[in-house]
Amino acid sequence: MKINLKATLACITSAALLTACGAKKPARPAAPESLSDLQFMITLYPDYAPITCENFEKLVDEKFYDGLTFHRVVDDFMAQGGDPLGTGMGGSEQTIKGEFSANGVKNELSHTRGVISMARSMDMNSASSQFFICYDDSCTFLDGQYAAFGKVTEGMEVVDKFLEVERVVGGDNAISSPVTPIVMDTVVMVEDDKDGNPRALVTMREFLTDGGSENTDTESGADDSKADDSKAE
């Protein structure tokens, strides 16, 4: 049998390029028509922060976030999660480049209500797995200093309910540490939105007991250190 060596090499090269470049995305399940009262949807915006979005999507596909908590919830500021240690000191095995202007990267996604961004330490390239969700438009003071990469586009009321969980003083010296764990049961990638942006569906475990408990102490304070962790995250 005569083998067309040139054609064979072309096929091998083409296959290698497809694998290396990740040209074909995995098939994603359809998004539910409506969300439960324990679900919210995160839409990722790779046009603003491609490295950050790719890292988040990879961790979701590895089921990294399943069973992890929102360990830090601050009134009028943000909810932070994604730490395997649950203390603000942990992360995944890999750190990524900080995609924000102070680190030489143009990123015009502003930290308004519902926007999701990466937590980090003083090291600009220390972001790993921890992220935070902004509660208020006043978080725009973080623009240029942290890598915003997505937004809660459905179910933000679920994230708001985190504020109803009783909290005590945390490592940030604010009323931020939930007494009852606020746990992500599953985080899964679902089909892209109509504009081709990737989406992640977060399903929480029940975290409110007897309707929750409002904090009487509203200490929060929004300063530039609040999205920092004491470790590289």
Cβ-contact 114, 197 below 8 angstroms: no
Read off the pTM: 0.82
The structure tokens listed for 187 are 């985080």
198 in Cβ contact with 192 (< 8 Å):
yes
Q: Is the pLDDT of residue 141 over 80?
A: yes
The CA R_g of the chain, rounded to the nearest whole Å, is 20
For the chain, what's the residue count?
Answer: 233
| H/E stretch holding 171 | none
- Whether the per-residue pLDDT at 194 is higher than 50: the answer is yes
Domains belonging to the chain, first-starting first, are 37-204 (2.40.100.10)
**pLDDT value of position 227:** 54
Q: What is the pLDDT of residues 34-88, one digit of tens each?
A: 999 999 999 999 999 999 999 999 999 999 999 999 999 999 999 999 999 999 9
> How far is 194 from 62, CA to CA, in rounded Å?
25
